[in-house]
Amino acid sequence: MNYRNRIVIAMALIILLSVATLAPTISAQRRHRFRADTGLVTLGVGQVLRICLSSEAFEDQNVIRPRFVWMRYGPMTCNTDGVCRQTIQSQGATTPVPVSQNEAASFDVQGTGGGVRVNVFVAAGDVTGDALILNSATGEVVSHVIMANTEGD
């Protein structure tokens, strides 16, 4: 074996060892985050926006800890084109609540004639939720609200 072949083999081994040490040895699975948003919903006086999470949606999770973030908007001011503006009057967040597979969680926001918005955050787990507008006096479901489910922060 001549000198040139030895150098080529040595270079090839150096490159292979470099690539092998730079390659990750373990691939960790990324945790699933759940975020759902009702968007701005205008509730009449005597209506309730109820957000529900149930255990049937959990996959391989013993406990999830949803957190509900809410915003309550003031009265609308509309222009002549029919575009209305609302500003946040109050907002807050619940502490994360532990919910196991045999349980459900719900969060209610009372209507005052202005708009409300609720976001649901769960750090890990595949979760689906439902949002309903209820008549406070009768308990009747007035409408369903489609919550945009997005994976992320």
Share of residues in the chain with pLDDT > 70 (%) = 66
Q: What is the pLDDT of residue 70?
A: 95
Per residue in 60-78, pLDDT (tens digit) is 567 788 899 999 998 888 8
* DSSP secondary structure code for residue 56 in this structure: G
Whether 133 contacts 52, CB under 8 Å: no
Residue 86 neighbours by CB under 8 Å, 6+ apart: 40, 73, 74, 75, 76, 77, 114, 115
Domain annotation for the chain: domains and CATH numbers: 34-150 (2.60.120)
Q: What is the pLDDT of residue 10?
A: 59
Q: Which residues pair with 137 in a beta bridge?
A: none
Q: How large is the average pLDDT for residues 142-152?
A: 74
CA 139 – CA 136 distance, rounded (Å): 5
Q: How large is the average pLDDT for residues 79-92?
A: 92
Cβ–Cβ contacts within 10 Å for residue 126, how many? 15
Q: How many CA atoms lie within 13 A of 113 on its CB side?
A: 4
The region of weakest confidence among 6-10, 42-46, 94-98, 107-111 is: 6-10
| Distances, alpha carbon 104 to alpha carbons 45, 51, 79, in Å | 27, 11, 42
At 96, the pLDDT band (50, 70, 90 cuts) reads very high
Per residue in 116-126, pLDDT (tens digit) is 999 998 876 66
Q: What is the pLDDT of residue 6?
A: 64
At 9, the pLDDT band (50, 70, 90 cuts) reads low
Please determine, for residue 25, whether its predicted confidence score (pLDDT) is greater than 80: no
Q: Which residues pair with 149 in a beta bridge?
A: 36
